Amino acid sequence: MRLEVLGCHGSETLTTRTVGFLIDDELLLEAGTAASVLTLERQRKIDNVIISHAHLDHIKDLPFLVDNRIGETDRSITVFAIDRVLEDLRQHLFNDSIWPDFTRIFNGKTPLLRFERLRPGECTQIGDFQITPHAVSHVIPSVGLLLRKQGRALLYTGDTCATEAIWEAARNVPELSAVLIEASFPEGMKHIAEVSGHMTPSMLLQDLRKLNRPEVPVYIFHMKPNYEQAIVDELRLELGGRLHVLQEGDIIQL
DSSP line for 40-107 = HHHHTT--EEE-S---HHHHTTHHHHHHTTTTT-SPPEEEEE-HHHHHHIIIIIBSSSSB--GGG-EE
pLDDT at 164: 96
Nearest CA among 14, 97, 1, 93 for reference residue 56:
93
pLDDT tens-digit map of 60-108: 999 999 999 999 878 899 999 999 999 999 999 999 999 999 999 998 8
For 45-59, b/e burial (b = at least 16 CB within 10 A) is ebbbbbbbbbbebbb
Provide the domain limits for residue 165: 2-253
Q: What is the pLDDT of residue 30?
A: 98
Q: What is the mean pLDDT of the chain?
A: 97
Per DSSP, what are the bridge partners of residue 197?
none
User: Average pLDDT of 145-155?
Assistant: 97
pLDDT of residue 74: 81
**Contact indicator for 147, 131 with CB cutoff of 8 Å:** yes
Task: Give the distance between the most distant pair of CA atoms in the chain.
Answer: 56
What's the Cα-to-Cα distance from 93 to each of 9, 62, 69, 88, 124, rounded to whole Å? 22, 10, 17, 7, 25
Burial zone of 44 (CB within 10 Å; 0-12 exposed, 13-18 middle, 19+ buried): middle
Q: What CATH code is carried by the domain that includes residue 85?
A: 3.60.15.10
Q: Specify the number of domains making up the chain.
A: 1
pTM attached to this predicted model? 0.97
